[in-house]
Amino acid sequence: MAYRIGFGTDYHQLSAGKKLWLGGIQIPHEKGSIGHSDADVLLHAICDALLGALNLGDIGLHFPDTDATYKDIDSKILLHKTFQLVRKNGFYLENLDTTICLERPKIMQYADQMRRVISGLLEASEDAISIKATTTEKMGFVGREEGVVAYAVVLLKKPE
């Protein structure tokens, strides 16, 4: 069996009046992420982890923010297209571990819902998807509530 590990990270600014999309769901908050797509920082980090595991570049290579096709696109579509590349290469997801860094709102109450969405997109069981959250203890741009960061690590497996 062949295994591949990938790491992804993504950052987005937060702005009043924008929608906050995380893990494929909209979370109620007075601020949301700024981006070319729906700016779902978690799904973008997962895309980068999947692409990195197979040495296929990054999300910007496959879905450039200079392409109007992707303007305001639902990031679930981007993750689905990314995972199709994984399957085309004969791999499937063994497990996914993620961390979201955000001062507010507290998001762990939404983790099960995010896990359901992501597991469906990645053709994996919910127990293969880990979602964690942390603050930066009011330090840096995350602590000042100016932005959000997500990290993702994937383990892919290719059956013999």
Task: Please state, in angstroms and rounded to a whole number, the distance separating the CA atoms of residues 78 and 91.
Answer: 18
pLDDT tens per residue across span 42-80: 999 999 999 999 999 999 999 988 989 989 899 999 999
Single pTM value for the model: 0.96
Break the chain into its structural domains and give their ranges.
2-158
8 exposed, middle or buried (CB, 10 Å; 0-12, 13-18, 19+)? Answer: buried
pLDDT tens per residue across span 103-146: 999 999 999 999 999 999 999 999 999 999 999 999 999 999 99
Residue 147 pairs in a beta bridge with 13
What are 51's two structure tokens? 């692409």
Range 2-158: architecture per CATH: 2-Layer Sandwich (3.30)
